[in-house]
Every structure is written in structure tokens, then in C-alpha cells.
A = this chain, B = another copy of it.
Amino acid sequence: MRPAKISESAVRRLSLYLRVLDAFELAGKTTVSSGDLAERGGVTPAQVRKDLSHFGSFGKRGLGYPVSELRERVTEILGLGRRWRVGLIGAGKLGAALFFYDGFRGQGFDVVAVFDNDPDKIGQRWGRLAVEDVESMDRVARASQVEMGIIVTPAVSAQQVADRLIESGVEAILNFAPTRLQVPPGITLRNVNLEIELESLAFALTHENGA
């Protein structure tokens, strides 16, 4: 089943269900109901069923969903049935934190190249990789078959880095720089902006009590 259009938030919920399914499988459960999934995922049972129904009919009425099979199906739907080759641009503290974070590898994402423009950083060994010059991105990213880019540079360099990534054939970008990137149609962009998150907390604290 190839649905017309799945909302961004529905996709994110699928990721969530996948984690819940992992936990249930680990706990030895063989079937789960939409209610079980909903409870652990913090959503409603109807939402779980609707989300899953966009991709097919995986459950048995009266019984629920087979844990192991549903997990496989969701893995497949999310495109996690394979490994992904990721390039990291920005060898600063945040870049290092992401590089050495094990969670990505566990989910199928391998950082296969690291770039920076600082001569002091270029050439540094990070695990089994060497930090490459941003200038050589096109060559290196293509050679390493980078499919996704994670931008962890200062805001001023981010757009230029994004442009280079796209030139190098990368079609998906996760941007941590606090700036709005312009990308052509067909390129998928997600932004993680820590300042905006904190500001949203500040707003909530400021307006919480109507008094």
C-alpha cells in the first residue's frame, strides 16, 4: 500500500510505535492491541489504528497486532530495513557528541564522513575516520556515498554547507544551525533548533497561569 500523503506527525508517531514495539518484544509479548500501543505511546487507540491503516491492515480483529510482524512492517515502512550513510558537517562539540552517540548506529545510521573548515580540526582522527576539509565535500561525500547530511555548524556557514551537500547529491538534511535554510524542491529538510525549544518553554512558563 502506497498512501497518497502521510503527515509529518503521523510518521513521527510511527517511530514512537516502533520503540514501544521493541519494548513489548523484549518483554516477550506476542500480540498487542491498539490500546496497549496507545497507552505506552501517549496517544489514543484510534490514532494508532488510523496511523497503521494508512499502510495496510496488520491486525486481527478481536486479537490485536502480532508484535514481531508489526515491528518488521513498521521498520520497513520507515525505511529502516537497510543502513543509511550519514555525513556530519561541523566537528565542534555538538558534532562530536552526535558522532560518538551510539543510538544512531543502533537504529541503522552510520556516520561515514566528518567535515569542518577549521585547519586545526581537518585531519584529526575521529574513531576510524579523519576530519575532512569542507572544500573537498563534493569528492569525499560522493566517494563515501553520503545519503543524509547533519549540519552542526554555526549559523553563518549553514546555508553554504547545505548548498554543497545538495551539489554532492545529498537529498536529506538535518539542520541544527539556528537559521532557516533554503533548499530546492525534492530535498527533505528537518530543523532542530534548541533556542526555539527553550523559547517555547519560556512562553509556556510566562503564560501558564491566566491570573
Contact = CB atoms under 8 A, between A and B. Distances in A.
Contacts of A126: none
Nearest to A4: B210
A3 to B, nearest CB: 9
A188 B171 contact: no
A77 B192 contact: no
Interface residues of A, number: 62
A130 B186 CA distance: 47
A12 B173 CA distance: 20
Contacts of A148: 198, 201-202, 205
Given A12-B200, A93-B101, A94-B94, 10 more contacts: A40-B180, A78-B202, A79-B206, A80-B202, A84-B198, A93-B93, A96-B97, A103-B194, A107-B199, A171-B208
A198 B79 contact: no
Contacts of A194: 98, 101, 103-104, 174, 192
